[in-house]
Amino acid sequence: DVTIADEDGDTPLHLASLRGNISKLEEIVGLLIEGGADVNIADEDGVTPLHIATNKGMTRSVKQLLRGRADPNKKNKKGYTALLSAFANDHID
């Protein structure tokens, strides 16, 4: 089940974005999206996979999540959008 969440509300898509092998991350993200993963699902802090990818500067994953209809305007509990997260972490590619 690609939508199952752990005790923190993290789904496989969150975990792939956090801990994925960089060389395989784009492929993993694509497979999860194709499998029905919710690209806009937020964990207990309101963090989406797009927040994680922008925070880490993973440009290819950001593009793939956006193609999968991730909402760039969704805010986490601190009020940050993915774009603000990218700017805050100096990832403005």
Q: Are 70 and 37 in contact (CB under 8 A)?
A: no
The full set of domain ranges for the chain reads 12-88
3-state helix, strand, coil in the chain (%, to 5): 50, 0, 50
| Residue 19 confidence (pLDDT) | 61
Enter the pTM of the model. 0.77
pLDDT per residue over 15-66, tens digit each? 777 665 566 777 777 888 888 888 999 999 999 999 998 988 888 888 888 9
> What class does CATH assign to 12-88?
mainly alpha
Is the C-alpha dihedral spanning 45, 20, 38, 62 positive or negative?
positive
